[in-house]
Amino acid sequence: MEGGGMEVWMTWGMFWGVVGAMGAGAYYVVVLAGAAETKGKRAVDLGGGSIARGQVKSNYQKYASFFEKPKQIEGKQEVPKLVDTFYNLVTDIYEWGWGQSFHFSPAIPGKSHKDETRMHEERVVDLLGAKPGQKVLDVGCGVGGPMRAIAKYSQSHVTGITINDYQVARARSHNKKAGLDKLCEVVCGNFLHMPFQESSFDGAYSIEATCHAPDLKDVYAEVYRVLKPGHLYVTYEWVTTPEFRADNAEHVEVIHGIEHGDALPGLRSYKQVGDIAKEVGFEVLEDRDLALPPAKPWWTRLKMGRLAYYRNHLVIALLSFLGIAPQGVVDVHEMLFKTALHLTRGGETGIFTPMHLLVLRKPEAAPEAAAAEAQ
């Protein structure tokens, strides 16, 4: 090029160089530096929860080995440790890519994902009839996104329990930053054996959490024990639907993929959850799938997020290569992407739902029991 042509070429080159630099800077701020107060985590902070950096990869490999033979994870004694390991591995990635509420919600036309999430959580308050000053239990609270929304909306005192001590620390930190630490309390413990007295809560809920229980009857029985007579328990359950066929190879593959990628000892059917609740002693007031029409597909966000996955995977791979993120985080992220594919397929085929609603009531105490209590 000569004369003006060279000048034009240089001008356009400088222009695109500036645009590229601005784009790279924005990418660093949004994706790497991140809005940690909003998303909860930055890419540069990804780790393995309470697991030492050098042990992340080996812990992931041990976790994955549980699912080489599906029947291996059926031993009750193995499941709590499996779930604890899982949440050490995935909590940072969940917060970075998903936010502080680790659950799905029905898609609502004209509403953002943030609004859909909030409305799905506030529905719990409306169903419970939770009031200011009451004590409400969050069974499997994670890092406390739902807890904070429910406490703020109801002004109830919410106590959350999670088996993972790293999530306890994260939840307490978020509670304090949100100015809700006076209404929100977090306890590290197993929801199969909760450290609470009988009849000590005015309401209880679980949002896509009890699917981790090796025996649903055990966790329902614990909730029943700590709930006051006449009060309610609301739960959103992960279940197979009436469309699931155990003799369909694709159905089985999809469900096993969901179990593998989410630390589930075995998905239950829509019918089992209600039957188990009755067996424990609950009265079933409502039993239905919130994902059915007129609700819009809940899995749409997973499909829209595939481009983000590839972008994020490159970021994680680079951070791992540079030694900023521990070895093994790339493997965990890849597992979660494959799980998203199985979840999407479960939604598309209609064989799986993450939001089967049960509204359960603990019956009022029998007259003789009430008299004994009064004494």
pLDDT tens digits for range 218-262: 999 999 999 999 999 999 999 999 999 999 999 999 999 999 999
pLDDT at 300: 86
For residue 76, give both structure tokens: 């009750």
pLDDT at 303: 76
pLDDT at 312: 86
Cα separation, 239 vs 160, in Å, equals 23
What are the angstrom distances between the C-alpha of 106 and each of 72, 111, 208, 209, 356? 33, 10, 13, 17, 11
Cα separation, 159 vs 144, in Å, equals 10
pTM of the model: 0.87
Could you please state the CATH topology (level 3) that the domain comprising 48-365+370-374 is classified under.
Rossmann fold (3.40.50)
> In the chain, which residues have pLDDT < 70?
1-40, 69-76, 304-305, 366-375
pLDDT at 30: 38
- Residue entry with tokens 């080489």: 68
Render 136-165 in DSSP notation, one character per residue. Answer: EEEES-TTSHHHHHHHHHH--EEEEEES-H
pLDDT at 230: 97
Please, which residues have CB within 8 angstroms of residue 155's CB and are 6 or more apart in sequence? Answer: 131, 132, 133, 183
Question: Residue 245's CB: how many other CB atoms inside 10 A?
Answer: 13
